[in-house]
Amino acid sequence: MATANKDLSAYDKNAIPNTNGLRFGIVVSEWNENITSGLYNGAVEALADNGVKPEDIITWNVPGSFELIYGCKKMIQSQNVDAVIAIGSVIQGETKHFDFVCEAVAQGIKDLNVQTDTPVVFCVLTDNTLQQAIDRSGGIHGNKGTEAAIVAIRMADLRRSF
């Protein structure tokens, strides 16, 4: 297991770029809200901990993970953000729906990264069980939302360096 004995929330604050003047978008799926709200809180706390002002964090909700792609696209087009974090949670069920949603969301976010000049960070949990999602959204493995926020800061800094 890739996250065994790993805290997804751990980072070296001294290694994080300056966030002054950076704006971040967060698009959050309402599906599995008990998981996505934990991821969102981790992301916002990490951004704030690294100096991002509340007014420089724009949050939009979308119904499900599939809709993250459109939400991120519109966020990029309309909100003048330096990076976007796509937050979702898809948990394996009894049908192939899980496979289709996970593949589409991963490809859609990849496409946004190729087609636009704004980095979109993939913070979509694709877990086999609810417990795995809980463990990664503020549970025993920390918070993937925190990790995504640090990635967004680093990518926004890379973007502004060109």
123-160 pLDDT, tens digit each: 999 999 999 999 999 999 999 999 999 999 999 999 99
At 121, phi and psi to the nearest 5?
Answer: -95, 130
Under a CB-based contact definition with an 8 Å cutoff, are residues 69 and 108 in contact? Answer: yes
Catalytic-residue membership of 141: no
Annotated catalytic residue within 7, 70, 80, 97? 97
CATH code for position 76: 3.40.50.960
User: Is residue 1 situated within a structural domain?
Assistant: no
User: Is residue 8 situated within a structural domain?
Assistant: no
Strand-by-strand arrangement of the 83-91 sheet? 57-62, 24-29, 83-91, 120-127
**pLDDT at residue 1 is higher than 70:** no
88-128 pLDDT, tens digit each: 999 998 888 999 999 999 999 999 999 999 999 999 999 99
Stretch 11-29: mean pLDDT: 94
**pLDDT at residue 3 is higher than 60:** no
User: Is residue 119 situated within a structural domain?
Assistant: yes
Q: How far apart are CA 107 and CA 68, in angstroms?
A: 12
Comparing 153 with 10, which gets the higher pLDDT?
Answer: 153
| Least confident residue range of 74-78, 83-87, 95-99 | 95-99
User: Is residue 138 situated within a structural domain?
Assistant: yes
Predicted confidence at residue 2, as pLDDT, reads: 58
Structure tokens at 123: 């913070």
What does pTM read for this prediction? 0.94
- Per-residue pLDDT band for 162 (boundaries 50, 70, 90) equals confident
User: Is residue 146 situated within a structural domain?
Assistant: yes
User: Is residue 38 situated within a structural domain?
Assistant: yes
Domain containing 59: what range? 25-160
Stretch 45-49: mean pLDDT: 97
Q: Looking at the 3D structure of the chain, how many domains does it have?
A: 1
Stretch 55-72: mean pLDDT: 98
Cβ-based neighbour number of residue 47 at 10 Å: 26
User: Is residue 16 situated within a structural domain?
Assistant: no
Averaged confidence pLDDT in the chain: 94
User: Is residue 108 situated within a structural domain?
Assistant: yes
